[in-house]
Chain A
Amino acid sequence: MKLILSDKNKRVITGNVEIKFKDSSEKHLICVTARAKGALQLSPSASDDEDLTVEIDHKKFPKLSDPNRMTDSPAAFSGGSIHNLSKSVFFVAKLTGEEHVIKLKADNIPSCATLESLEVHALGPGEKVELKISRSAEDGDRRQWMTFVVDDLPLYSFNISATVYKRYRDSDDLKIVIDGETKSHFKENKERPTDPQLPDWFYRFWYFAGALLMGKRVISGFTTKLSKGLHYVEIYADGTPYVESVSFNFSQPMEPEFQRQIRKYKDDKFGRDYNQLDQYILSSVEHWNNFFLSQEYPPPEPLDPNFVKAVIYRESRLGYYPSSNIVDVMQVWDDRNPPRAAFLGETSANEFVSPEVVKHISYSYPVGKNPPRVESREDSVFWGIRWLYYKAQFLKPDANRKPALPYVRMWRTWEEAAAKYNANPELLRDYMSEVLKVYHEGVDLDGNVLWRS
């Protein structure tokens, strides 16, 4: 996550206020913290609460059950609900173009609200959203405290780490509502909490109940499997609960076993450590698998880190040829080979982005890795796997071999992708036969047994 804008100028918002920023990243996290008063807090005679709504690039965030209702949407700051207590709304949104505008709209003039802070972060492609909140709610009765707005994205799961304390008279409680459905601790876990003296029905809608958890830090995950669209995750506070962190997965993560099972190679002859790149392989495969699995037309089969390991064995003996100092272990940055120019945009390398857009692969470069460079083995593995993914896909053509709108992405098998990765006209079968022999049987050209099943 890269901070693009930070506005901590606390001020009263009257009418409409526009805050502009420039950034061409595809996804952004926008955090607005504000407070709004209820009618009775304004004056005994006031008939209307303060309300504040947010629009991003003219996109509105209405109540899910009624697209015309804005001020009582979970994404709005409604004085009647929050009673001048601080509320934060986190928007995870896909924005197009470079120039963006956030519009803060106080309800009818002279209504106003108080903006406490506004932050904009750019998210890298495929980047998991993990937020360190480390904050206690201001003391108050049951009200909205935080809302996470996920726009134009799927939402596979949501995790929260929180602590609630048992207190005299009124303990801390925390309620989780996802797309209008209140998460019940009992329903989710199908078990009662351990304290039989407490009337559990009382807490069935407060997922974290201080009287039951008594200061224990609890990490809870919610698998939502919501398809692409507008989604709200609301957190209600009662008392002063503490939230340490929250995280979102927009796509189904790879099975942990699949991620972690990388075969260990052995070298009895020369004592080489052929497993020295395993961590780079695992992390890069996980990154690009998650990136492409979260897109439309995901690969039918995620890339297997063991397949990558076999390719690297063929390309550079897993970092031992021509010397143990070799950096470009996947050979993706070799001066003589064109992928480097393609990565840097000097030559064309276009792929599917959405049913409406085909463009250069640079759209996928994570923040902090743009422009690409290979200065370490980790870089070589990271970009080598990206190149393999580029070679694995193509656009579905029509009868004239012209990709037709809306674009549809097709996938080659990983073996075909590796053949294109090497692109050797004469010895393709030999290249692939060794890669596959190492991958499937663990034996190289020399007959060295690298692993046994």
Chain B
Amino acid sequence: MAKLKIPLIIFLLFIAVPSFLLVKTHLQRERDKVLGEDIENNYQLMKNYPIVSFSIEKTINLGKGKRLAQVYHVFDSISGLAVIDYADNFIEWLPIGKPFFRDDYFPVPGEILDWLRFDNLGGSAKDGGTYLLAQFANTGTAGVHPFYVYSYGDSGFRLILNLVESSSTVEIGDLNDDIKDEIIHDYSIAGIGKIERDLLRWKDIWRLEGETPVRVNSLFPQEYQSLINLYDLALTKKEWVPDVTFYYPVIRCLKGKAELTIKNNLVGPESCLNKLKQMLSRN
């Protein structure tokens, strides 16, 4: 029996040592992945978190053994953004990344993920960089697509821009070829019904100065002529008179703001939204 023990031990070592080295190398490779590498669809459940029904839908490597995960609660239909490790263990939520229903109806950060990526916002079409961009969609007729910009550094994620409006789209592009991307946020100031979603539109153009978002609408007056054309159509189209007359004061307000923007004044639609709210509350 003793004669058999030594070859058995040698055999076990022969098997175990290479296996250990292989696993170690694999784990090392995983840890060494760089920021933004390997976007994966995962669909495992997130571990080490009291709520167990979060499915990990999409991950992006952060390096240092961490991954960014978009998680989805399959029963509540709500998404979140978390940092997890390679064993799918929860580490922390991103700011506003923890899923919850605001007022029991509006999901934060969002219901379904449209897209997320790291970007340098440096005018390059390529992914990569230290800004995390994420857009969600909420499944309602208001067409809300919440949009988030985070910066990522040694201290983790910091939320620097959060845009939540109705019937919204976000485009990233370098509008003036200065190797700095602009964030073009096109939306309705009030997505109540189709009329408001179609006609009470506005566009904000954002640029990041370091970690500070700056609204730069006035630098891009050419972007506002199409809005004026839309407002003019709304104010004159006979077929729309029964439905749109109520909104004329708001549309005129928006048109005034767009004209000011074209004249390089930095203005937003806030006062027009307040006007609409006053009109609605009177009724």
Q: Which residues of A pack against B, CB within 8 Å? A: 269-270, 272, 314-317, 320-323, 330-332, 334, 336-339, 341-342, 347-350, 358, 391, 394-395, 397, 400-403, 416, 419-428, 430-431, 433-434, 437, 445-447
In the complex, residue of chain B having the shortest beta-carbon distance to the beta carbon of A337: B143
Chain A interface: which of B19-27, B205-213, B221-229, B236-244? B236-244
CB 8 Å contact bits of B138-178 with A (1 = contact, 0 = none): 11111110000000000000000000111101000000000
B186 CB, min distance to chain A CBs, angstroms: 10
Interface centre among A316, A317, A402 (most CB of B within 10 A): A402
Asked whether, in the complex, the Cβ of A423 is within 8 Å of the Cβ of B139, the reply is yes
Q: Which residues of A contact B271 (CB under 8 A)?
A: none
Known A-B contacts A317-B243, A331-B141, A424-B140; the reply to A336 vs B167 at CB < 8 A is yes
Q: Which residues of A contact B74 (CB under 8 A)?
A: 348, 350, 358
| B190 within 8 Å of A (CB atoms) | yes
| B119 within 8 Å of A (CB atoms) | no
CB 8 Å contact bits of B245-283 with A (1 = contact, 0 = none): 110000000000000000000000000000001011001
Asked whether, in the complex, the Cβ of B242 is within 8 Å of the Cβ of A421, the reply is no
Q: How far is the CA of A337 from the CA of B169 in the complex (A)?
A: 11
Q: How far is the CA of A358 from the CA of B73 in the complex (A)?
A: 13
Of the residues B77, B102, B239, contact of A350 by C-beta under 8 Å: B77
Q: Which residues of B contact A421 (CB under 8 A)?
A: 140-141
In the complex, residue of chain A having the shortest beta-carbon distance to the beta carbon of B243: A321
CB 8 Å contact bits of B62-78 with A (1 = contact, 0 = none): 00000000001111110
Asked whether, in the complex, the Cβ of B194 is within 8 Å of the Cβ of A322, the reply is yes
Other A-B contacts than A315-B194, A358-B74, A426-B190, 10 sampled, CB-CB below 8 A, are: A317-B195, A320-B243, A336-B197, A339-B140, A391-B140, A397-B76, A400-B52, A401-B51, A401-B76, A427-B277
Chain A interface: which of B8-16, B34-42, B90-98, B104-112? B104-112
In the complex, residue of chain A having the shortest beta-carbon distance to the beta carbon of B112: A347
Known A-B contacts A314-B192, A342-B139, A400-B50; the reply to A445 vs B76 at CB < 8 A is no
Q: Which residues of B contact A431 (CB under 8 A)?
A: 142, 192-193
Q: Which residues of A contact B51 (CB under 8 A)?
A: 400-402
Name 18 A/B residue pairs within 8 A (Cβ), A-sorted: A314-B192, A315-B193, A321-B240, A337-B141, A347-B139, A348-B74, A400-B51, A420-B105, A423-B111, A423-B142, A424-B190, A424-B191, A427-B277, A427-B280, A430-B277, A434-B280, A445-B279, A445-B280
How many A-B pairs have beta carbons closer than 8 Å: the answer is 154
Q: Which residues of B contact A437 (CB under 8 A)?
A: 283
Q: Which residues of B pack against A, CB within 8 Å? A: 50-53, 72-77, 102-106, 111-112, 137-144, 164-167, 169, 190-195, 197-198, 239-240, 242-243, 245-246, 277, 279-280, 283
Q: How far is the CA of A136 from the CA of B25 in the complex (A)?
A: 80
Q: Which residues of A contact B242 (CB under 8 A)?
A: 269-270, 272, 317, 320
Known A-B contacts A315-B194, A321-B195, A445-B246; the reply to A397 vs B140 at CB < 8 A is no
In the complex, residue of chain A having the shortest beta-carbon distance to the beta carbon of B49: A400
Q: How far is the CA of A77 from the CA of B191 in the complex (A)?
A: 63
Asked whether, in the complex, the Cβ of A423 is within 8 Å of the Cβ of B76, the reply is no
A414 CB, min distance to chain B CBs, angstroms: 13
A120 CB, min distance to chain B CBs, angstroms: 33
Q: Which residues of A contact B277 (CB under 8 A)?
A: 427, 430
Asked whether, in the complex, the Cβ of B139 is within 8 Å of the Cβ of A338, the reply is yes
Q: Which residues of A contact B53 (CB under 8 A)?
A: 401-403
B127 CB, min distance to chain A CBs, angstroms: 22
Asked whether, in the complex, the Cβ of A427 is within 8 Å of the Cβ of B169, the reply is no
In the complex, residue of chain B having the shortest beta-carbon distance to the beta carbon of A321: B243
Interface centre among B142, B166, B283 (most CB of A within 10 A): B142
Q: How far is the CA of A246 from the CA of B195 in the complex (A)?
A: 48
Q: How far is the CA of A339 from the CA of B112 in the complex (A)?
A: 11
Interface centre among B141, B164, B243 (most CB of A within 10 A): B141
B90 CB, min distance to chain A CBs, angstroms: 13
In the complex, residue of chain A having the shortest beta-carbon distance to the beta carbon of B73: A401
Q: Which residues of B contact A425 (CB under 8 A)?
A: 102, 106, 144, 164
Of the residues A269, A339, A420, A430, contact of B190 by C-beta under 8 Å: A430
Q: How far is the CA of A416 from the CA of B106 in the complex (A)?
A: 11
Asked whether, in the complex, the Cβ of A420 is within 8 Å of the Cβ of B140, the reply is yes
Q: Which residues of B contact A330 (CB under 8 A)?
A: 141
Q: Which residues of B contact A391 (CB under 8 A)?
A: 140
Q: Which residues of B contact A422 (CB under 8 A)?
A: 140-142, 191-192
Known A-B contacts A338-B111, A349-B139, A423-B139; the reply to A402 vs B169 at CB < 8 A is no
Asked whether, in the complex, the Cβ of A316 is within 8 Å of the Cβ of B75, the reply is no
Of the residues A336, A348, A397, A428, contact of B169 by C-beta under 8 Å: A336
In the complex, residue of chain A having the shortest beta-carbon distance to the beta carbon of B113: A347
Q: How far is the CA of A270 from the CA of B240 in the complex (A)?
A: 11
Q: How far is the CA of A320 from the CA of B164 in the complex (A)?
A: 29
Q: How far is the CA of A400 from the CA of B53 in the complex (A)?
A: 9
In the complex, residue of chain B having the shortest beta-carbon distance to the beta carbon of A326: B194
In the complex, residue of chain B having the shortest beta-carbon distance to the beta carbon of A272: B242
Q: How far is the CA of A394 from the CA of B74 in the complex (A)?
A: 11
In the complex, residue of chain B having the shortest beta-carbon distance to the beta carbon of A323: B239
B197 CB, min distance to chain A CBs, angstroms: 8
B270 CB, min distance to chain A CBs, angstroms: 12
Asked whether, in the complex, the Cβ of A446 is within 8 Å of the Cβ of B245, the reply is yes
In the complex, residue of chain B having the shortest beta-carbon distance to the beta carbon of A332: B141
Q: How far is the CA of A332 from the CA of B164 in the complex (A)?
A: 20
Q: How far is the CA of A430 from the CA of B103 in the complex (A)?
A: 15
Asked whether, in the complex, the Cβ of A338 is within 8 Å of the Cβ of B138, the reply is yes
In the complex, residue of chain A having the shortest beta-carbon distance to the beta carbon of B244: A321
Asked whether, in the complex, the Cβ of B143 is within 8 Å of the Cβ of A336, the reply is yes
Q: How far is the CA of A322 from the CA of B197 in the complex (A)?
A: 11
Q: Which residues of A contact B102 (CB under 8 A)?
A: 425
Q: How far is the CA of A420 from the CA of B198 in the complex (A)?
A: 20
In the complex, residue of chain B having the shortest beta-carbon distance to the beta carbon of A352: B75
The 5 A-B pairs of least Cβ separation, nearest first, read A423-B140, A424-B142, A331-B141, A338-B137, A338-B139
In the complex, residue of chain A having the shortest beta-carbon distance to the beta carbon of B142: A424
Asked whether, in the complex, the Cβ of B195 is within 8 Å of the Cβ of A358, the reply is no
Q: How far is the CA of A427 from the CA of B196 in the complex (A)?
A: 11
